[in-house]
Amino acid sequence: MKFSKLSQLFLVSIIGLVVASLLTSCEIVTIDYLFVASSTGIQTYDVDSESGAIRSGQATVPSGGTNPVAMAISSDYASLYVANQGNNSVDHFSVAGNGVLSNKDNVTTATPPVALTVDPGKAYLYVVSGTDSATLTSYSLSSGTIGSPASTVQLSLSSVSASFANDTLIPTGVNVLTNGAAVYVTAYDQSAYNPGGSVSSNANPGWVFGFTVGSGGTLTPAAGSPWKAGIKPTAIASDPTNRFVYVTDFASNQMIGYGVQNGDVLQFMVNGPFKTGNEPSAITIDPRGLYIYVANSLDSTVSAYVISLSTGTPSAAVNLTGSSLNSTDTEPEAILVDPALGRFVYTANHLGNSVSGFRLNATTGALTATLSGPYPTGDTPTALASVPHGNHSTQSVTP
């Protein structure tokens, strides 16, 4: 059968439209930028809005120092802060609309920084530092620029007992409530917990220290602080309604839950602690305040939990396979939920040199692996941060 020239032209046009449609459907529509800190520097990835798959984005930038161990994003997503343990620095980067990072300023800490977080009001940057002591410092912020310390507190167990005053506190995490009213630091007493070494104390090893944030950023110990937190607390997170705080215990394979009373005082959840995988190392709560995700470093898994909105009690979210655990690459050390729509969960896998991704079921909290993961990164990634790209509805991530 012969086609007229007009028929041939029509057929070619239809084929072209079909091909263009297929190519468009395969393009990544970026919903977030994901930042990964590793020994290589800070890498930027584009997150696909439909699948959650990530691909390399802007060029890798130096972290501003050596051995980056933690990152934090400001509430307006305009500033990224990086803790570099190798040279005792905290560096501030501006975040452009296309995901480009620019190093703006930095401060030097007296001891190696361990963890950091930003006041939601963008007024203060909280840094916890020390490898054989624990210090919490609040730095004033002005349009993202790191200023002078507003308050510095040396953590000590002397308030528990005078005999514990010389014990060696190792800080592990820091969290600020979304209303900015209180800051919490996790630490463990190496004098009482020191695998492979000697111990000289029979004190409880794990603790959470709480501080009320006052005028000018002053930090005042909360009533009853510090509170017991298992053996080796590793990470801490609070829900977006400022009612609950959760701490992972690396040594006991559990998560400890607290209710927040009177704005800053912690009270144990009576039905806890709650089982995790082996050696939980990181924790995050989705922006809706409905689900908790814990990265288990020894298992190379993520545990998912549904939060009871009335009591804060977490219960395991079960996947279609009947499992409450989700496999990652080797040794996840950091975890987050994407901030744009709260639909994807990512882990930084320290020994896997990769990022693992999961799609979050907003109805059940269960996770399913994203396409083509895990995704390669630089060597030994340690920290994650993310900002939304473009204008998106926040209805799905509002508690």
What structural domains and CATH numbers belong to the chain?
A: 70-337+363-370 (2.130.10.10)
Separation CA 206–CA 260 (nearest Å) = 19
Q: What is the pLDDT of residue 218?
A: 94
Q: What is the pLDDT of residue 163?
A: 61
> 254-271, pLDDT tens digit by residue?
999 999 999 999 999 989
Segment holding 61, helix H or strand E: none
> 26-81, pLDDT tens digit by residue?
566 899 999 999 999 999 999 999 999 999 999 999 999 999 999 999 999 999 99
Q: How far is CA 394 from the centre of its chain?
A: 20
pLDDT band at 225 (very low <50, low <70, confident <90, very high): very high
Q: What is the pLDDT of residue 27?
A: 63
pLDDT of 253 over the 70 cut: yes
Longest dimension (CA), the chain: 99
pLDDT of 11 over the 60 cut: no
pLDDT band at 165 (very low <50, low <70, confident <90, very high): low
Q: Give the tokens for residue 130.
A: 């020390």
Q: What is the pLDDT of residue 398?
A: 65
Separation CA 196–CA 190 (nearest Å) = 11
CB of 370 closer than 8 Å to CB of 359: yes
Q: What is the average per-residue pLDDT within 2-7?
A: 45
Beta bridge partners of 266: 260
- Of 160, 167, 184, 316, the closest CA to residue 247 belongs to 184
- pTM confidence score: 0.91
Q: How far is CA 233 from the centre of its chain?
A: 15
Top pLDDT among 7 and 184 is at 184
Q: What is the pLDDT of residue 248?
A: 98
Separation CA 19–CA 69 (nearest Å) = 45
pLDDT band at 6 (very low <50, low <70, confident <90, very high): very low
Quick one: CA dihedral 355, 361, 366, 370, positive or negative? Answer: negative
Q: What is the average per-residue pLDDT within 124-152?
A: 96
Q: What is the average per-residue pLDDT within 121-144?
A: 96
Q: What is the pLDDT of residue 23?
A: 33
CB of 303 closer than 8 Å to CB of 347: no
Top pLDDT among 341 and 4 is at 341
Q: Give the tokens for residue 280.
A: 């939980």
Q: What is the pLDDT of residue 20?
A: 36
CA torsion, ordered 176, 184, 327, 396, to nearest 10 deg: -30
Q: Give the tokens for residue 338.
A: 């994407």
